[in-house]
Each structure stands twice: as structure tokens, then as C-alpha cells.
Amino acid sequence: MLAAMFVSFLGAIFARFLVSRTFPHGGWIAALLPAGLFVFFLTQGAALGETPVISETLNWVPALGISLSLRLDGFALLFVLLITGIGTLVTIYAGAYFSHSPREEGARFLSLILLFMTAMLGTVLSDNLIVMFVFWEATSLLSFMLIGFNSSRPQARKAALQSLVVTGGGGLALFGGILLIGIALGTYSLSEVALRAPELLASPLAIPAMILIMLGAFTKSAQFPFHFWLPQAMEAPAPASAFLHSATMVKLGVYLLARFDLIFEGVPAFNTTLVTIGCLTMLLAAVRALSTDGFKDVLAHSTVGSLGVLVMLIGLDGDYSVTALIAFIIAHALYKAALFFCAGTTIHAVGESRLSRIGGLARRLPVTTVAAGMAAISMAGLPPTLGFITKEYLFESQLNASSGWVIVAVAVLVNAVFAAIAGVAAIRPYYLGKTRSEIKHPETPGLYLGPLVLGGLGFMFGLAPDFLVRGLIQPANDVLVGHTVDLSFSLWHGFTPMLALSATVVAFAGGLIAYWHRIHYALSLNKRLARVLGDFGFNALFAATLRLAERCTRLLQNGDQHRYTSTVAAAVLLIIGYGVLASGTHPVFTLNGGRFDMPSAVVLLLMCVGAIAATRTPSLLRAMIAVGVVGFGSALIFLLNGAPDVALTQFSVEVLLVLILVALLLRVPERAASTRQPGEKRFDIVLAVGFAIVVFVALAATITLPLDSTISDFYAATSYLQAHGRNVVNVVLVDYRAIDTLGEVIVVAFAAMSVWGLLRALPRRRTTP
């Protein structure tokens, strides 16, 4: 598996160069990567019959207990096959979708899609929670790039930023939960955490960790109150919408919650919260779907509702809910990806995205029409599709759970809306009305292969579900339940309450389709409802944050260096003063006599003169030279006290600083007008004197204390034996404090580059002959 991940990453990187050279047929060639991975994991899945888990480990950061651990079980196999299988079709579709675009644009998109596939694989295969988080955040970043792929559109940039803020913020919450689990158990292995679940629940960190993990999952899977970002993300190209926002990425939160279900099932609030949030998300998505007119937008809102169904199923008790969860994940991935393919092809063909302006395309897009019809039948839950069987299990899990009839009523209502959306998506664009626009991009094999395959699989798995049950659903079900449950899927279970509920859904859906225009018109006029259920709250909070940042910037970053310096000095004085007062002690020092060092006294006197001169002269150049006197005096003090290497370093720094600043000052007026008022100058004097007194008292108190030479003795004893250096100071700088020294060098280098850039930006003075 580690080799497969490595191949996937390298393939995604090199795909950009390969596709650009084989354009416009690069999509078929790039699809060989996900197709090969699909076959590989399919063979790995066959090996799961002999052992329930296949794992591989590579030490990454052993000092922190972080290893690149990959774990393939029945539930992970379900996701990797969906990711690679649908990824193959998405890659082919994307190649055809961008066949009329510049080749570099299509190559870049395909490379991003394959990189995203790699990040998804890493997320669902990782057994180490830290590694999983790294891949989790990679999906958020790559999703941001794909949503904002059409960067010339302001709507795409806004949607990309919104998704990154929401999912990135949720990622930080998830990381906090992971760290709390690591603190409580001393391990980041997901397998070990599952085995030690009682120990985790006994820890006081269990509830905060659970809350943070749920927040991370809710943001990624667009659950209330984070439901608004997913429909906005439909600004992404159609292949990205089909892959990221219906079939795979948005189910990451569902995957995470399902993994932690057995761990947190002992906390009653966990299941209750999931059921409540899932139902709220379903209802909000249903209302929003009825009020929108965009082809992809309607599908996106139904996706949000479907994710709410999945979260609700995780929260329900009973084994049937797990079976319904797994079956619904598969069915939804098949029909929703197919419908997004069809929507993308339709919008791409006529250049119009609103359902009210699309119609009569059945003859001009015949294969797409057939594929959309097959996917819509499965989405509506009609026989003989996998969607029908899934809906039966959905209602059975609710009837057998202890949550009551309210959940059943919500499910019936929301599923009726989903079925109506399926009918509208399959009928209105192709059979009703007429589109005046000409077909700009006709359907090609690359565009209709994906929806045909996925729609056909929905029928095939409905008619012959045994292969799917034995190969995918049964192994995944055993992992999530914790024991083996005998499963049997069939289209006909007799006249049961589930069948009655399914018939009720179809009847309600028929009424919604009949009155679709009136319902849509009434809801679309309610702007207040759209603001409340949409992203109004996020936009208001985001705008308030920007306003606060602007005010803070005006207050703190006002361009007055005097204020910056005085703020820092005053903060240091306040912190030191508070520390002394809070400790209840005061510095005690005694001045004992010692030998008088005339050279040092002369140097110190020159430094004082330089400091005073720097504060009194109105000339910037003279002030710089006076400050240089202070710096060079410090170097002489080091030299006189037996530290020639430090003195040489100080000399080098001062020479460089003086030369650069003098060169800069030669480009500006020699004298600068005073910007300080008399009151500000008096405050500066008080602040400077106070700072000097604090430094003097601190130094005087320090030299009276007994000298602790433990660290010095350690450096002296080990510098030659361990670092093979005779100069202790150099060893400390380049070995014991190597990272610190590297940081200082980087800071100086960046400062030098910044100054050089400023010097180059200034206009050159013209010299008169």
C-alpha cells in the first residue's frame, strides 16, 4: 500500500506533463493511474477474506510516536474502491470536458484531480491520526484550488475561500481533538484507540476530544451550521463537483464519525447530537433545494441532505443502521456522481446553468438523457435499483431504532424532496420546454461513459446485489459493528411497513413535481429565508472579522516607528513590573569593589557619548554613525574581556549594518523633520529612563547571585567529545543551538534582501555634469 501511495503521488505530479503532450486525449491516458490503483486495491480486497486487516508501517517521526501506518479493512476498502473507481471515470470525463480548453489548463486540472485522489486515499487508509490529519488538510487545500480553478470569476474565488475557511477551521478543531486523544492515551494509532476506548472515555479529555472531532467532521461534510459552503462550491468545474462534492471528499466527515462511533458510543450525547444535527441538515437542505434554480445547485443541496442522512444513520442504534449507512454511501456515490456528470455535460453544451432556461435536449443529448434517467431512478429509490434497496434499509433502521416516529417523518419528507429533485433533474432539462441556445459542445464518449457506467451499476447492483454484499457491504459492516451480521439484500421483502413508507415517498414526490413551479416561486421570493438558511451568517461574521482586523491595523500598524518601539518597551516594563510585584520579592544586590579597568571604562564612556549624540543630532546620517559607535564599542568590550570570536562577529554585523543603512540614508533627505510633540518627547524620556533602570537593576542583581556553571561545564566537557570542536563558542552556535543560529541567519538574509529591494526601488539621483 505504501508503494501504491507513492506511485499515486508521482503519477499525479507527472500527469501534468504527460497530459499536456498528449492533449486532447490525455484524459484517457491519465485514467490509467486510478484504474491501475482500482485493480490493485481490488486484489487487496480479495486478500481480506484470509485476514481481516492488511497493514503496513514506515517510521516517520519516531521521536514523537508518528509513523506512516496504513491499514486496509472492509470499511477502508469500500472508500478506496469508490475513490479510485469514480476517479477513473472522472479523469476520463475531465479530459473530454477540457478538450476545447487550452492544453495547459486541462493538464493542470487533471494533475490536481489526481493529487486530490492521492490525498483521499491517504486519509481513509491512515491508521495514525496525525498522518490522517495531514492528508485531511491536503484534501481541503486541493479542494480550495479546484473550487477556485476558474480564478477569473469572483464567485469562484469567493467560494474557494469560503470552503477553505470552513474546512480549514474544522481541521484545526479536529487536530485539537487528536492531540487530546494522544495526551489521554499516549498513542495516535486509530486501531489502538479503538481497543482502549474505555480508557479514553474514563479520561476527562474524552468529552472535549469528542466535541472537537465532531466539529471537524461536521465542517467537512457540510452539516448544520456549516451546510452553506457545499452549494457555493459548485463554482468548481463539473468534474470536480462530481468527484469532490458528491462522491468522495464530503463523505470524509462521515467516514471519520463512523470510525469513532464504536469509540464514543458510551457517551449518550454523541449519538443524540448526530441524530439531531443530521435531521436539521436534511430539513434545511430540502427547503433550500426547493428554492434554487441552478442545475448543479439543486443537486448540491440534495447532497447536503444526503450527508445529513448518513450522519443521522451513524447516530441511530441497531445493526440495521450500519447496513443502511454502507449501502447508502455506495448508492449515493453512484447516482449523484452520474447526475453531476450529466449536469456538467448539459451546462457545457448549452452554456446555461439554470433549470428554468434549459429544456428539450433529449434529441440533442440522447446518451446523457438516458444516463440521467437511470441515475434519477436510483436517486428516487425506485425498483429495480440499489437506491430502492437502500431506502428500504433506511426506513427499517429508523423503525427499529429507539429514536421515535419524528425521525421517520423527517426521513419520509426529505426523501420525497430527493425523489422530486431526481425527477426534475431527469425530466425538465431533456423533455420539457426548449433551449434556444445552440449546442456548443456536443456529447462525446468521454463525457457520457462515466454517467452510463454509474447509472448502469445502480441497476445491476439492484438486480444482483449478492456480489456487492459479499465483496463490499458485508466486510465494511463487520468492521463498523464489531461482529459478523448476516446480510441479505433483495428487491422484494413482501408487503412491509418499509414498502408502505417507500410508496408514501413516491406519492409525495409526485405531488412536489406537479407543483414544483409554485413551490419554487413561493420559496424563491422569501429573501429572508434564503439569508437565514444560506451563507448570510458566515458572510456577516467574516466581514466583521475583516473590519476588526482593519481597525487593529490602523491602530497598531500606523507607520510610526516611535510608537512601535515605545509600545514594546512599555510592554516589557509592565511585564517585568507585574512579575516583581506578583512574586512578592524585590531584587537585592550589593556592589563590591574590584579592579578598575581603564580601557573598558574609556570604551564605555565613548559608547555613552555615542548614545547621547544619536539622540541629539538632527542629521540621520550622523545619528547612524553615532549608533555605530555604540555597536563597535560593544565589540571592543567583548574583545577586552577574552571573547575575540564574539567580537569579530559583532564587528562584522556592525560593519554590514552601518554600510547598508548609510547606503539607504544616502537616498533619503539628510535631515528629517521632527514628528514628536513635546509631550511625546517627555514620555519617551520617562520610558527610556525607566527601561534603563530596569536593565541596570537586573544586571546588577544578576552578577551578585552565585554563578551556576552547570550548562557551561556541560558545553566545555562535551564540545570536543560529541561535536568534535575545540572552540566551545562555535560548537554552541553551530551544533547545540544550530536551529536557533539557522533562524538568525535566515532573518538577517531576509532583512538584507528586503533592504536591497528597497534600494533598487528608489529612483537614482541624477548627477549634473
**Does the pLDDT value for residue 263 go beyond 70?**
yes
β-partners of residue 69 are 57
**pLDDT tens column, 86-96:** 999 999 999 99
Q: Please give the biggest Cα pair distance in the chain.
A: 108
Is 549 a member of any domain? no
Nearest to 288 by CA among 235, 228, 375, 244: 228
Residue 246's pLDDT band (boundaries 50, 70, 90)? low
**Does the pLDDT value for residue 672 go beyond 80?**
no
Is 271 a member of any domain? no
Q: Indicate if 303 and 397 belong to the same structural domain.
A: yes
The one-letter code for the residue type at 477 is N
DSSP annotation of 70 reads E
Q: How far from each other are the two terminal CA atoms of the chain, in whole angstroms?
A: 74
Q: Indicate if 666 and 727 belong to the same structural domain.
A: no
Residue 594's pLDDT band (boundaries 50, 70, 90)? low
β-partners of residue 59 are 67
What residues contact 269, with CB distance under 8 A and at least 6 apart?
Answer: none
State the Cα–Cα distance between residues 212 and 180, nearest whole angstrom: 9
Q: What is the pLDDT of residue 146?
A: 92
Contacts 24+ apart (CB under 8 A), 477-480: 477/74, 477/319, 477/322, 477/323, 477/326, 478/52, 478/74, 479/52, 479/73, 479/74, 479/75, 480/75, 480/258, 480/261, 480/262, 480/322, 480/325, 480/326
Give the residue-averaged pLDDT of 762-769. 54
DSSP secondary structure of 433-486: S---S--SS---HHHHHHHHHHHHHHHHHHH--HHHIIIIIHHHHHHHHSS---
Contact 252, 312 (CB under 8 A): no
DSSP secondary structure of 389-403: HHHHHHHHHHHHSSS
Contact 371, 342 (CB under 8 A): yes
Nearest to 250 by CA among 263, 259, 240: 240
Question: Phi and psi for 72 in degrees, rounded to 5?
Answer: -110, 115
In 615-741, where do the E strands start and end?
A: none
**Domain range holding 659?**
600-673
What residues contact 482, with CB distance under 8 A and at least 6 apart?
Answer: 262
Is 51 a member of any domain? no
**Does the pLDDT value for residue 753 go beyond 90?**
no
β-partners of residue 696 are none
Residue 333, exposed/middle/buried by CB under 10 A (0-12, 13-18, 19+)? buried
Region of 648 please: left (phi>0), alpha (psi -120 to 50) or beta: alpha
Give the residue-averaged pLDDT of 315-344. 90
Q: Indicate if 661 and 744 belong to the same structural domain.
A: no
Nearest to 336 by CA among 234, 404, 484, 440: 234
State the Cα–Cα distance between residues 92 and 232, nearest whole angstrom: 25
Is 472 a member of any domain? yes
Q: Indicate if 315 and 449 belong to the same structural domain.
A: yes
β-partners of residue 67 are 59
Q: What is the pLDDT of residue 142?
A: 93
Give the residue-averaged pLDDT of 163-189. 93
State the Cα–Cα distance between residues 464 and 471, nearest whole angstrom: 13
Helical (H) or strand (E) element with 361: none
**pLDDT tens column, 526-560:** 777 777 777 788 888 889 999 998 888 887 777 77
Is 217 a member of any domain? no
State the Cα–Cα distance between residues 124 and 329, nearest whole angstrom: 14
What residues contact 57, with CB distance under 8 A and at least 6 apart?
Answer: 67, 68, 69, 70
Q: Indicate if 609 and 737 belong to the same structural domain.
A: no
Q: What percent of the chain has pLDDT over 90?
A: 31
Q: What is the pLDDT of residue 591?
A: 58
Residue 212's pLDDT band (boundaries 50, 70, 90)? very high
Count of domains observed in the chain = 3
**Does the pLDDT value for residue 181 go beyond 90?**
yes
Q: Indicate if 660 and 714 belong to the same structural domain.
A: no
Cell of 213: 472531532
State the Cα–Cα distance between residues 31 and 92, nearest whole angstrom: 6
Q: What is the pLDDT of residue 590?
A: 60
Contact 497, 398 (CB under 8 A): no
Q: Which residue has the higher pLDDT, 233 or 526?
A: 233
Q: What is the pLDDT of residue 457?
A: 93
Residue 330's pLDDT band (boundaries 50, 70, 90)? very high
Is 52 a member of any domain? no
Q: Report the DSSP pairing between strands 66-72 and 54-61.
A: antiparallel
Contacts 24+ apart (CB under 8 A), 736-745: none
Q: Indicate if 492 and 619 belong to the same structural domain.
A: no
Residue 127's pLDDT band (boundaries 50, 70, 90)? very high
Q: Indicate if 648 and 733 belong to the same structural domain.
A: no
Which of these three, 492, 508, 525, is where a domain ends?
A: 525
CB-facing half-sphere around the CA of 353: CA atoms within 13 A:
13
Which of these three, 625, 651, 673, is where a domain ends?
A: 673
Q: Packing angle between helix 268-291 and helix 405-431, nearest 10 degrees?
A: 30
Residue 158, exposed/middle/buried by CB under 10 A (0-12, 13-18, 19+)? middle
Instruction: Collapse the DSSP code of 222 into the 3-class scheme (helix H, G, I; strand E, B; otherwise coil) and give the result.
Output: coil
Is 759 a member of any domain? yes
Cell of 203: 479520561
**pLDDT tens column, 26-80:** 889 999 999 999 999 999 888 887 778 888 888 877 777 778 889 999 899 999 9
Q: Indicate if 663 and 753 belong to the same structural domain.
A: no
Which of these three, 507, 525, 543, is where a domain ends?
A: 525
Residue 761's pLDDT band (boundaries 50, 70, 90)? low
Is 659 a member of any domain? yes
Distances (CA, A) of 695 to 139, 586, 699: 51, 14, 6
**Does the pLDDT value for residue 428 go beyond 70?**
yes
Q: Indicate if 373 and 477 belong to the same structural domain.
A: yes
- Beta carbons within 10 angstroms of residue 463's beta carbon: 12
Q: Indicate if 408 and 511 belong to the same structural domain.
A: yes
DSSP annotation of 590 reads -
Cell of 429: 432539462
Instruction: Collapse the DSSP code of 336 into the 3-class scheme (helix H, G, I; strand E, B; otherwise coil) and give the result.
Output: helix
Q: What is the pLDDT of residue 763?
A: 62
**Does the pLDDT value for residue 520 go beyond 60?**
yes
In 10-167, where do the E strands start and end?
A: 54-61, 66-72
Q: Indicate if 433 and 365 belong to the same structural domain.
A: yes
Q: What is the 3-state secondary structure (H, E, C) of 252-286?
A: HHHHHHHHHHHHHCCCHHHHHHHHHHHHHHHHHHH
Most confident of 501-515, 673-687, 697-711: 501-515
Tell whether the torsion through CA atoms of 94, 96, 100 and 105 is positive or negative. Answer: positive
**Does the pLDDT value for residue 350 go beyond 80?**
yes
Q: To 10 degrees, the CA torsion angle through 399, 400, 404, 407?
A: -50
